Structure 1
């Protein structure tokens, strides 16, 4: 998920003016683009790392096996 101000900017769906303003701000502010891009990349790598995904699947299978054995 995007965390407003940390990994991206969120605007209200359908608010074209807010969207255009956010895009214009990014076009003008290279530091914000860099900071948001780095934070989003870091977040994606942490959340979708293979090790983490494997642990999540293992946990799901473990919970499913407990449910099926009842």
Structure 2
């Protein structure tokens, strides 16, 4: 579990969640009343999240107009 304290990439301050090593990402953003969960079957082979995570969160925030 992690809590975001500054805006980075798709992370919004005050959001919290986790990126899992088996291709999962789940975060809650209370300020925007948003919960996002992505489940894949792609093992993360580097410390950097796969590009689909960036695409997923970018699409969600674009859809709500943030």
Larger relative contact order (Cα-Cα within 8 Å, sequence gap ≥ 6)? 1
Which structure dedicates a bigger proportion of its chain to helix?
1
Larger Rg: 1
| Length-normalised TM-score, structure 2 | 0.28
TM-score norm. by structure 1 comes to 0.27
